[in-house]
Structure 1
Amino acid sequence: MSLDRRLATPALTTLLVVLIGLVTGCARIPTDGAVRDGTTELEQASEIGFIPAGPTPGASPDAIVQGFLTNAQAGPTSAASFAAAQEYLTPAAWRAWDRYVRVLVLDGDPQLVPEDLEEGATSTTVTGSAVVVATVDERGVYTEETDPSTVPVTFALTKRADGEWRISQLENGLMITTGFFSQAFHLTRLYFPTPDLAWWVPDVRWFPRQTWRTDATSEILAGPPEWLADSTTTVIPEGTSLAIDAVTVTDDGTIDVSLTSTITQATADQRALAVAQLEATLVEGEGRDVELSDGTSPLPVPDNAVISTPQTRGDALAVSDGALYRVVGQSLVDLEDAPSLDGLDPTALATGPGDRPIVVRDGSDRILRLSGTGVPDVVMTGRDLVPPSVDRFESVWSARGNTLLVGLASGGVQTLDVDWLDTRTVRSVRVSPEGARVAIVSSGPSGRLVHVAGIQRDADSVPTGLSTPVQVGASVDQVDVAVWQEDTVLALIGAEQDGDRAVFVAGVGGQAGTGGLARVLTGVTEPTWVTASVGSGAMLVLDGDDTLHARQTSSLWPPVAEGVDLVAYPG
C-alpha cells in the first residue's frame, strides 16, 4: 500500500505523522475507479506512527468531532490514541461507547455538517454521511459490501461549564478509512486442523493491532466458526480460556499463552497440536515459539505435531494441439507417459496432486478420468457439466444446474443437494488444497455470486454436504471462474466497470491491501481462464487468443505459449 494513499484523507492530515524509514518513488495515486495492483515498486516502509492530540481550546463542534474520529481510527494501534479520543467525549459518552461492536470501513472521511449555532447554545448536533465499503464485526469477521452504501452519522455535543464543546452522544463502533484500515487492524489467519489432523484450514479475521494476539487466541479457544465447524476439528478441551486476559511476547521472542486449568485435560499429543495451532496463528517471522502454561506453571509439550498449510502440490498441465504438456517455468515441456486425447473433445482440464488423476471434460456432457492404457474411465455424464476440480482424496467435483456432483475415487457419483443453491445455477467449482473448503460461482435472481463453503465429509472422507457459505468478492461483477490463488485468496475472472473482462483477487474474509478489498490485476486483456498454485504465488491465464501467460509481477504477464486450449494446476 502506498503511503500517499494512507495520508490522503483530510482527517489524517490534521494529526502529526512521524514517518520512520524512507519511502521512494511515490507517485500520484488515483482517487476513483476500481482497486488495482500498482506497477511502481516501493521500498518496504516502516509503520506510520502517530502522536495523539487532544482538543484545541475553543474548538468548534465539527472540529471536536473531526478530532475524535482521527484519534479513534488510530486507537487500534495504540492505547494513547484512544486516551486522546477520550478527551473529546463527556465521561458518560466514553463509558457508553462500545468501540469494537462494529467497524465501518469507509471510502474517504465522513462528510460532516455542523448545525447552525444560536447565541448562548449549550447543545448542538453535527450530522453527516459516510460511504461504507466493508464492515468488521466484534469477532473480527470482515464483509465486503456488494456496492458502497451511504450511511448517516450523528454526534450530539454539549458545552461544558468552561465553554468547551464535547461529544455527549454517538453511535457505537469505529469508522476507519480504507487507506488506514490495514494499519489499524491486523489480518490474522486462525488455523484449525482437518479431522484427519493432516492439514491446517485458515479462517481470516481482523483484530486491533495492539491486541491481535490476545484476540486471536481467544477465538482459537472458542473453536472454529460455524461455516467450518463440520470441516475442521479442535483438540483444546471445551471451556478452556485465557487465565490472564493478555498474550504477551517476552524479550527473547517467546509468546506466553496462559490458559485455565482445563487445558490439563488434554493429552500430551493434543497439547502438542494446540501449541502448533497457536504457533501457526500467532508467530510472524522467525525465532518465536509459543509457551503454554496452566496459569503460571509451564506445561510440558512434545514437539511432534506436523501439519501442512494449504498448498498446491504439482505442476500445471496444459492441452495444446490435441496433446497434454507440463508447464514448467515459462515453457511447455513434454509430459512423460502422457495419456492420449485421441477421439476426445477436451473442453476443460483438471488434475490431482502429482497428476493423479488427470481429468478432462469431453464436450459438455462427459467427464473422463484419463489413464495410461488409453481407455479413459467415465466419471460422470450429464448435460452442461461445469469444468471439473479434483480434491486431495482424488474425487472429481462438477455440477449440473443447482446440483453438485462428486465422482469418487472408489467409483460412483455422490450427489450433493445444497439448499442455498436451490434457486441458482452453478458455473464454477474449485476445491481448496486441503479439501475442507470449496469455492462456487453461481448465477440466479440476485446475479452472479461467489461463495466459499465448508465441505462436510463422512468417516471415509466422502463428501456429504456443504455448510452455510461466506460470500467473497462481493464487489466483482459477472464472475465466471473462481480458483484458489492463496490459502485465503481467490483469483476471479469478472467484469470491470467498463464491462471489460479482467482478473481479480479477492480474500475469503478480506485480504492484505487497501481496505481489505477485492482488486484488479492488470496486464492481461480478455482473460478466459485462470489457474494458480497455492503457496508459490504462481498464476497462469489464458486470453482470448489462446495465448498462455504466466504472472511475473503485479502487472507483467509474459507469454508462455500460443495455441493453448486448456491449463490447470492441481486442484
Structure 2
Amino acid sequence: MSLRTRARTAAAAVAALAVAVLAGCASMPVSGAVNQGGDDVPRTGDFGQIAFGPTADADPEAIVRGFLRATQAGPTSAASFAVAREYLTKSAAETWSPSSRVLVTDVLPQPVLADGSDPTSDRVVVHASATVVASLDERGVFSEEQGGVETTFELAREGGQWRISHLDDGLMVPSPTFGSTFHVTTLYFPTPDLRSWVPDVRWFPQTTWRTSAVQQLLAGPPEYLAGAASAMLPVGTGLSASVTEGPDGTFQVLLTDQASEASGTARGVFAAQVRATLAEGRGAADVVLSDRNGPIVPTEVDVPELPHTPGRAVALQGGKLMNVTGRTLEQSELVVHLEGLDPQALAVSQAGDTVVVRDGVGRLVRVTGQSPSELLTGTWLLPPSIDRVGTVWTGDRGGPLVVVTPAGDRFALDVDWLEGRTVTSVRVSPEGARVAVVSSGEGGSTVQVAGIVRDARGVPTALASPVTVGASVTGVEQAVWQEESVLALLSRDESGATSVYLAGVGGLHLAVGGLPRRIGGISDPTWLSASVGSGDLLAIDGAGVLHVRQTTALWPVVGTGVQLAAFAG
C-alpha cells in the first residue's frame, strides 16, 4: 500500500531558559540532653534553610558572597528572599526579581573584584563566574544546558556599608544542592480521550510547590505535549488563594469563578488531576475544591490510568519465543511464525497478542496470527515500537517516521524538527501520548521527546515541538522508557564501548542537579528494553547474555544465547 502523508499540526515552541537556586542548611546539634518532642508534628517533608544577613564593615567580595549564600534559603524558607535583600540597596531590593533567571551551575560562583575597582572609593564592580549545567524557567521547566556565565554586581556604600546597587535578575544554584532547594513534582494531564494520565515533571520552590503545581495544572499542558494532553478548566481559571493543607491532611484549593463554567466531567477530571499531582505517587491526596460561592462538588469520573507497561517481556532464544519470568526464560504459549526469517529487532503489543520482528534490516513482519504478514519494506528500517492502540512505529533511515495501523494502513509523519537528521531509535510511551526519538546529524546524537497528536480514530497525525533529554550524554543509539518520565539510554563512545544512562524528561529525580547518571554493573550492552511501573531494565550484551536490572546496581543473568528481548511497547 502506498504511503499517504499526513499534514503536521505544529505545536508551540519549547520552553525557554530556566531557573534554579542555591541550597544549604543550618547545622544541627550533636551533643546535649535528649528531650521528648511534642505530639503535634507538622506534616511536611520540606526543610527550611537558614540565611544570614550581612556583617558590619564587610568588603565588597564578602557582600556578594554572602548574598549568593543567602539566596539559597529563598525557595525553602517562609521568609522567602527577605534576608538576601538585606545585601541590596533599597532601590535594588525593590526591583530585583529572583525567579526570572535561575541557573544551575557546577559550583557556587566565587566573587572577584573587577580590575580597576578601588575598594576605598564609593562604588565598585564585582564579577562572579561559573559553568551552567541546567536551568529552570518561571514555570518550573528543567532544561539541560552547557556554557559559562558571568554575573556582574555593582556595589555602592549605603549608610557607610557596602551594598549591591545593581545586579542581574535571577539566581544561581550549584548542582549538588539543587535537589534540596527545589521540589521535584510530577504534574498529570489527561489524554484527549481521558483514558490515561500524561506525566510532566517540574521543579518548584520547596515552600510553594503545591500552589505552583496547581497553577501549572490550570495553565494547561506544556508545548511539547500540545495536542497530546488536555486542560480541563476554562482558559483564565486561576487560584484565588494559595493551596493550604488542613490538620487532617486535606488540601484546600480555592478557584476563581471561571471554574463554574466547566462541565461536570471536566471538574471531576480536574479534581482527579489535583489529587494525583499532590499525592506524589502515593495513591490520591484528599482535595477540596471551592470558589467564592462555596465547595465545588466534582462529578464522579473514571480516573485516567497512570502510565505502565503491562505483561512480561518476551525474548527470542534458539529460534523460539520465550517469556521472561523473573530471572528465568520459559517457553511462550503464543504461536509465532519465524520460519525463514532473520529477526534482528522485536516488538510486542500491550495486549501481548501481537509480535512484530524486523526481518533482516529492510522488512517488518507480524509473526502472530494465522500466518506471517508483511507490514512494511525499506532499505534500513528502524526497530519497531507498538503503541497502546496497536499502531506500529518505524521508518526508513534517512526518511520520515512511518506508522502502520492495526488495519494495515501506512502513513508518513511530516516532522520538521527531524529534517536533515537520521533517526536511529523510536519508542512510544506506555500511555501512547509521547514518543522518544533518537537522531544523529550535525552536532552528534540527540534524544528528543514530543507529544503525539492523533485523530478521532487514534491514528497518529503529527508530533508536537520536542524537548531535548539527556543533552550531556553523547553517542546515544537507543532510548527506552524506564519510568513514567525517565529514559534509559544506550550510548557508544569513540572507542566503541557502550554504556547505559538514565535521563529524566524534565530532569532526573535523586540525581545531582537533575542531570543524567550512568548505570554501572553491565559490560558491553548492545540492546535495552524496560518496563514502566516495575522499573525492570533488560540488557543483552555482546555475547548474547540477557541481564535484568531490578532496582539495584546488580544485573543478574536471565539466559544465554538470547537474540532479542522486549517488553510491550
Decide whether aligned partners of structure 1 residues 229 and 118 sit closer, same or farther in structure 2, where only a CA change above 3 A counts. closer
Q: Is the 8 A contact 1:17 1:48 kept in 2?
A: no
Q: CA deviation at 1:48?
A: 5.5
TM-score computed with the length of structure 1 as normaliser: 0.89
1:259 and 1:492 map into 2 onto residues whose CA distance is 41
- The answer to whether residue 382 in structure 2 is matched with residue 386 in structure 1 is yes
CA 437–156 in structure 1, closer or farther in 2 if over 3 Å, else same = same
Secondary structure of the residue aligned to 1:151 is: strand
Q: Is structure 2 residue 534 aligned with structure 1 residue 536? A: yes
Q: How does 1:436-447 map to 2 (within 5 A)?
A: 436-447=433-444
Aligned equivalent of 1:144: 144
Q: Any idea what SS the aligned residue of 2:207 has?
A: helix
What letter corresponds to residue 89 of structure 1 in structure 2?
A: L
Matched ranges for 1:1-150 at <5 A = 16-18=26-28, 49-80=48-79, 82-115=81-114, 118=118, 120-145=120-145, 148-150=146-148
Work out the CA distance in 1 between the residues paired with 2:328 and 2:81: 55
Amino acid at match of 2:66: G
Q: Does 1:223 align with 2:233?
A: no
> What is the 5 A alignment of 1:511-522?
511-512=508-509, 513-522=511-520
Q: Secondary structure at the match of 1:253?
A: coil
Which residue matches 2:182? 185
Alpha-carbon deviations, 1:503-561, whole Å to 9, x = none? 00111111112111011011111111111100111111111111111103442111111
Displacement, 1:254?
0.8
Residues of 2 paired with 1:176 and 1:63: CA distance? 18
Contact 1:473 1:507 survives alignment (8 Å) = yes
1:292 shift after superposition: 0.4
Normalising by structure 2, we get a TM-score of 0.90
Of 263, 266, 270, the match for 2:262: 266
Deviation digits for residues 348-381 of structure 1 (CA, Å, limit 9, x no counterpart):
00011131311100001111112243x2111111
Q: Whole-Å Cα distance in 1 between the matches of residues 496 and 319 of structure 2?
A: 33
Verify the 8 A CA contact 1:402 1:422 in the aligned structure 2: no
Q: Which amino acid aligns with 1:234?
A: A
Equivalent residue in structure 1 for 2:310, among 308, 313, 332: 313
Asked if the contact 1:253–1:287 (Cα under 8 Å) also holds between the matched residues in 2, the reply is: no
Q: Deviations over 1:112-166 (max 9, x none)?
A: 2124764641111111311100011111111102xx31111211111122x2111
CA–CA separation in structure 1 for the residues paired with 2:562 and 2:119: 76
Which of 359, 363, 368 is matched with 1:362 structurally?
359
Task: From 253, 256, 270, give the equivalent of 1:257.
Answer: 253
1:154 to 144, 152, 155: 152
Q: Given the alignment, which residue of 174, 184, 192 partners 1:195?
A: 192
In structure 2, relative to structure 1, the CA distance for the partners of 1:297 and 1:479 (3 Å cut) is same
1:492 matched to 2:502? The reply is no
Contact 1:17 1:50 (C-alpha < 8 Å) held by counterparts = no
Q: Counterpart in 1 of 2:567?
A: 569
Q: Which residue of 1 aligns with 2:319?
A: 322
User: Secondary structure, in 3 states, of the residue corresponding to 2:475?
Assistant: strand
Higher relative contact order (CA 8 A, sep 6+): 2
CA distance in 2, matches of 1:273, 1:329: 36
Change in Cα spacing, 1:283 to 1:19, as seen in structure 2 (3 Å) is farther
Q: Is the 8 A contact 1:52 1:81 kept in 2?
A: no
Deviates more, 1:488-497 or 1:56-65: 488-497
Cα 1:499–1:209 shift into 2, 3 Å: farther
- Using the alignment, how far apart are the partners of 1:328 and 1:286 within structure 2? 27
Query: How many Å apart are 1:256 and its aligned residue?
Result: 0.7
> What is the correspondence of 1:551-570 to structure 2 with a 5 Å cutoff?
551-570=549-568
Give the secondary structure class of the aligned counterpart of 1:243. Answer: coil
Aligned length: 531
Contact 1:548–1:560 (CA<8 Å) still a contact in 2? yes
Distance (Å, rounded) in 2 between the aligned partners of 1:316 and 1:287: 29
SS in 2 for 1:327: strand
Structure 2: how far apart are the matches of 1:499 and 1:297?
64
**What is the alpha-carbon root mean square deviation over aligned residues?**
2.0
Cα separation, partners in 2 of 1:68 and 1:200, compared to 1, 3 Å: same
Distance in 1 (CA, whole Å) between partners of 2:388 and 2:382 is 19
- What amino acid is aligned across from residue 465 of structure 2 in structure 1? T
The whole-number CA distance in structure 2 between the counterparts of 1:104 and 1:346 is 47
CA offset digits 1:431-478 (Å, max 9, x no partner):
011111100001112211111111111111111111111111101101
1: distance between equivalents of 2:168 and 2:29?
A: 32
Pair 299,407 (structure 1): closer, same or farther in 2 beyond 3 Å: same
| Cross-structure match for 1:31 | none
Cα separation, partners in 2 of 1:71 and 1:288, compared to 1, 3 Å: same
| Gap runs ≥5 in structure 1 | 1-10, 21-45
CA distance 1:119–1:388, change in 2 (3 Å):
closer
- Aligned-residue offset at 1:109: 1.2
**Deviation of the 1:496 alpha carbon:** 5.7
The alignment status of 1:175 with 2:175, answered yes or no, reads: no
Alignment-derived partner of residue 30 in structure 1: none
Tell me if the contact between 1:129 and 1:150 (Cα under 8 Å) persists in the aligned partners: yes
Give the stretch that moved more between structures: 324-333 or 277-286: 277-286
1:353 aligns with 2:350: yes
C-alpha offsets along residues 24-46 of structure 1, whole Å, 9 cap, x if unaligned?
Answer: xxxxxxxxxxxxxxxxxxxxxx7
SS of match in other structure, 1:545: coil
- In structure 2, relative to structure 1, the CA distance for the partners of 1:340 and 1:143 (3 Å cut) is same
Amino acid at match of 1:151: V
For 2:414, give the aligned amino acid: D
Taking structure 1 as reference, are residues 263 and 360 closer, same or farther at Cα in structure 2, changes over 3 Å only? same
- One-letter code aligned to 1:218: Q
Partner AA of 1:240 in structure 2: T
State the alpha-carbon separation in 2 of the partners of residues 518 and 159 from structure 1: 44
The Cα of 1:193 is off from its aligned counterpart by 0.6
SS, match of residue 213 in structure 2: helix
Deviates more, 1:492-501 or 1:522-531: 492-501
Give me the whole-angstrom Cα distance separating, in 2, the residues matched to 1:76 and 1:402: 47
